[in-house]
Every structure is written in structure tokens, then in C-alpha cells.
Amino acid sequence: MTILDDLLQNNKSIKNIVILSGAGVSAESGIRTFRDSNGLWEDHSIEEVATPEAFQKNPKLVHNFYNQRRKQLLSSEVNFNKAHQIITEIEDSNLYNIVVITQNVDDLHERSGTKNVIHMHGELLKTKCTSCNISSPIDSDLNTLSICSQCNEKGTLRPDIVWFGEMPYQLNEIETYLNSADLFLSIGTSGQVYPAAMFVSTTPSECIKLEINIEKTNISNQFDYSIQDSSSKGMEILKNYLLPQK
């Protein structure tokens, strides 16, 4: 009997599954994580491109950075991977109530078909107007002269990304999901960014807490068990417990 057998074999008591996903889930789709290369994200420090101050100081650089990320996301090289796919299969089974709270700004969970996704850190394929505050879909480049499709103001658009120092989206809704979680699954996140890093400690004491990561994180000790493997291999293992064997 393994630790996972012990935790999941009698899974009839698991109804509500909350998945927290991070950059490690998209890594196998070819999107680089934030902290895996000496704290640089595609050769930029996070402070240089992911704070409101950075945008104020150098909007052109920040726009260019997110334009590149958007282009990469929309290129034929990037698509969802096995981990996204298994999450979708689990949702589609209708055996559980499942929510994916993602820190990722890509749309790979949706592309694989997952429906209940919360983008707590915003979305690359959205822009937000600093004048009318409305968020709208975007698939092309933004610049300092772009016009808001909602209020027609010029030069007021920013990437709809939650930068450091800003409030993540839908925290009340997230709290409600966490409070009723039977299984909390943290996949491919370093546990270095709050409040996401403290979600595990917000779940009920009887909730089963599992982590999938290629390495130990600084919050691994808060989980009942950590699968030290890639997101896709980790999800293959969990699928065997959560879905009926074909």
C-alpha cells in the first residue's frame, strides 16, 4: 500500500476538487516558467516587466514584452499538453465538482477544454482600459497609442495581467472553493507568490492535499504528499485513482 493508495483509494468521499496550477503546468507546452532561469523571465527581471511602476516608467518595454508572450502563445509551437488534457478528462467525467485556479496567463486550460477556470493573475489574451476599466479580448499587439474598443480613449490600454503589488482576481470566489475542498491539488507552482502560496493552508483540515512538482518547493511540507515528477506524469498517476479504469 503506497501513501497515495492510502490517501485516495477510498475516493468516494472526494467530491470537490480544487486545482491550483502554475507555470510548471505550461512548461511542457514550451512556455518558460518564471523562476527557473536565475530569476529571469525570458531575459527580464520580474520587476522590470511585472509591476505597475515598471509600466509607468517604460510602457513601451512592458508592452513589447507581453506582445512577445502573446505572439508565442498564439504560435503553432504552443499547445496544451497531457496535464491540461487529463484535468479536462477529470472535469468531463462529471464525477467531481472541479475548479482550476490558475496563476498562468495563457489559455491552455481552456484550449484543452476545461470549463471552470479562474485566472487569478489575469490573461495574456485580454487588455484592460485604465480609463473605463473594461477588460476586452485581444489577439494582436498593444502599444502606447492603442485605442480602447469600449470607450475609444487612446493610449489607455494595458495588458490585463495582475502585476506585483496588485490584487489578484476573484479572491472571494476562490476562498469559497477552498473552504469546501475535499482534494486540493497544487501543480507546477513554486509556492513563492502570495496569496496563492497560502491556499493550501486555507483548505479544511480533512481535505487531502497533494502537490506535483519536479522538485521540492518551500511549501511541500504543507501537503499530505508530493509527487516529485512532471505535471503530465503526475496527472497520469492521479488519473488512475480519480477515473474508472477503462
Nearer to ligand OAD, 153 or 236 (CB): 236
**Residue appearing with cell numbers 502585476:** 163
| Residues in 102-121 at the binding interface with ligand OAD, rule: CB under 6 A | 103, 121
The 3-state DSSP class for residue 23 equals helix
Q: Taking Cα atoms as reference points, which of 107, 100, 87, 118 lies closest to residue 242?
A: 87
Q: Is residue 159 near ligand OAD by the rule CB under 6 A? A: no
DSSP run (H or E) holding 237: helix 231-242
The DSSP output letter for 231 is H
Per rule CB under 6 A, count of chain residues that contact ligand OAD: 28
Asked if residues 55 and 127 have their Cβ atoms less than 8 Å apart, the reply is no
| Residues in 53-92 at the binding interface with ligand OAD, rule: CB under 6 A | none
44 is catalytic: no
The 3-state DSSP class for residue 92 equals helix
| Residues in 184-213 at the binding interface with ligand OAD, rule: CB under 6 A | 188-190, 192-193, 212-213
Nearer to ligand OAD, 95 or 193 (CB): 193
And the C-alpha cell for 168?
Answer: 489578484
Give me the residues that bind ligand OAD (CB under 6 A), please: 22-24, 27-28, 33-36, 46, 50, 103, 121, 161-163, 188-190, 192-193, 212-215, 217, 230-231
- Which residues carry out catalysis? 121
